[in-house]
Amino acid sequence: MDLLQSKWIPVRPLNGGAPQAITLEQLLCSNEHWLLSLPRDDMELAALQLLICLVQVSWIPEDEHALQGYVTKPLTIDAFRQGIANWRDTFCLDHPEYPFMQVKGVDAKEPTGMDKLLAGLTGATNCTFINEPGQGDALCGGCTAIALFNQANNAPSFGGGFKSGLRGGSPVTTLVQAVDARFTDLRTTIWLNVLTRPSLVTLMCDELQLSQLPTWQQPIVAGASIAAANIGLVRGLFWQPDHIELCPAIVAGQCSGCGQHADKRYSGFFKAKFNFTVNGTWPHPHSPRLFQVKKGETQEKFLAFTTSAPSWTQLSRVLVRLQPEKGDAQLPAAVVTQCAKIFRHAKTQLIVGGYRNNQASILERRHEVMAINQGWQNSPEIIEAVVQIGLNYKTALRKALYTFVEGIKTSEIKGAGIAVHEVAERQYYRQSELLIPDLLATLNFAEPIAKIDALRIQLHQLCTELFEQVTAPYHHHPKLVRAVAVARQSLRKHLSDLKQLQGGQNAA
Ligand SMILES: [Zn+2]
């Protein structure tokens, strides 16, 4: 199965119709509108990302104008053939010598079931996953390629000495999609996330190294110490940090992933660990990066979901570029930055996805689409301000309730000793998950102040309500009456401090 030529892309027509598998040529060269069709949102994101990577390396737009052309018009058959001509046999899942994202002759005693390749399907801590049983029984070539790609690039390692990808074990991936009904289709979304040559040159400091072979054609040498700057575009986008080899395919039948009939299906793979180090950070175009100065040295890492706080709390890191002269900085994903620049007036949504993990265990799957109204591209500082307001009110509530929990030792006011501040924080996040994304989806970024002030009032109310709700069982408790009163006073003080900021100073 060749990813550039076979029917493997799991789609359904945008206007309704049966799921089916199509070729890359059908996807890129026709006017038909498709959507991805897989049973899991993380696998759909991985499929999208895999397609973006294939298109990125095969048809690099020379400039903005060329990219706009690709977005508006399907590729001609000639341009398609020209693009894939460079990659004969490179992206074949069952190539006899160089199979896609695998190495031949993996030294493993026992095969591993395909469910291990579907991130988070096995293991005890994944009770939050809703998965159809038997999903990993036997996968078609397409689903297998998507799962291989996802495991290598987006998911925590298999654990026990296996390596995770170039962005670490649980990077947040951010991509862009169009909102206009005519352009939400898969073809447009792919092109919106392809970098032009000038964007690539800036991102990779002129070192695209396009002739460098991917890891399955030129394996990583065991024990090697590799400078991230020496990893070229193709090798980096399709990086495979583990030794994996699919078991021979089994008989034809239904794929347990996409549900399509497949001539060849895969029910297991061999895996073996090996060691190497990558020094520095490869500037992956699909993730926000964070820079922190520690002991005079700048440390760079990719954004990850490290707590259960909702995604809006990370939005400024996803969208806003901060480059202070010295100190902490943040860079949105290169594809998001480019889209904001080239498609300044387009209505777009953000696709944000990642896993929250504890080492090899996945605790949470976080994949969502967030709408930000057009115009944010010109005023990213407003996003920063809205996120900060949301966090400030959360902190006010938490601080006041912490007083209730701990009491005040110097005044001999006894605290409740029950962590109601944690309960309130979770509820605050749950309710703000509707408020803040709704505001950003509809905000007029040219005149934001009235709506931002209305948000403050809503959050003020929310804090007061949640405070009364979580302390209600103790209102008449003789030993805690004073603690409730002191904490309530503290909340009023914090909220009134925040009210002083009203009038949009924060957004200025
Ligand atoms: Zn399938």
Neighbours of ion ligand 1 (CB under 5 A): 140, 143, 255, 257-258
| pLDDT confidence of residue 508 | 39
| pLDDT confidence of residue 272 | 94
- Over residues 216-248, the pLDDT tens digits come to 999 999 999 999 999 999 999 999 999 999 999
112's CB contacts (< 8 A; 6+ apart) are 268, 269, 270, 271
Greater pLDDT, 324 or 262: 262
| pLDDT confidence of residue 417 | 87
Q: Tell how far the Cα of 66 is from the centroid of ligand 1, in angstroms.
A: 33
Q: How confident is the model at residue 461 (pLDDT cuts 50, 70, 90)?
A: very high
Q: Tell how far the Cα of 352 is from the centroid of ligand 1, in angstroms.
A: 23
A 10 A CB-CB count for 240 gives 23
96's CB contacts (< 8 A; 6+ apart) are none
Q: Tell how far the Cα of 23 is from the centroid of ligand 1, in angstroms.
A: 14
Whether 173 shows a pLDDT value over 90: the answer reads: yes
Q: Tell how far the Cα of 258 is from the centroid of ligand 1, in angstroms.
A: 4
Q: Tell how far the Cα of 254 is from the centroid of ligand 1, in angstroms.
A: 8
Q: What are phi and psi of 226, to 5 degrees?
A: -115, 130
| pLDDT confidence of residue 399 | 96
Q: Tell how far the Cα of 255 is from the centroid of ligand 1, in angstroms.
A: 5
Strands (E), 185-318: 225-227, 243-246, 253-254, 261-262, 265-266, 268-272, 277-279, 289-294, 297-302
Q: In the chain, where are the structural domains located?
A: 9-168+202-279, 380-500
| pLDDT confidence of residue 294 | 86
- Range picked from 14-18, 200-204, 360-364 for highest mean pLDDT: 200-204
Q: Tell how far the Cα of 38 is from the centroid of ligand 1, in angstroms.
A: 8
| pLDDT confidence of residue 499 | 86
What's the rounded mean pLDDT across residues 203-210? 90
Q: Tell how far the Cα of 348 is from the centroid of ligand 1, in angstroms.
A: 29
| pLDDT confidence of residue 446 | 93
- Over residues 92-144, the pLDDT tens digits come to 999 999 999 999 999 999 999 999 998 877 754 544 456 667 888 999 999 99
Q: Tell how far the Cα of 143 is from the centroid of ligand 1, in angstroms.
A: 4
Q: Tell how far the Cα of 20 is from the centroid of ligand 1, in angstroms.
A: 10
Whether 182 shows a pLDDT value over 70: the answer reads: no
Alpha-carbon distances, residue 496 vs 350, 388, 491 (angstroms): 34, 16, 8
| pLDDT confidence of residue 124 | 45
| pLDDT confidence of residue 123 | 58
The letter for the amino acid at 214 is P
Q: For a pLDDT cut of 90, what percent of the chain falls above it?
A: 71
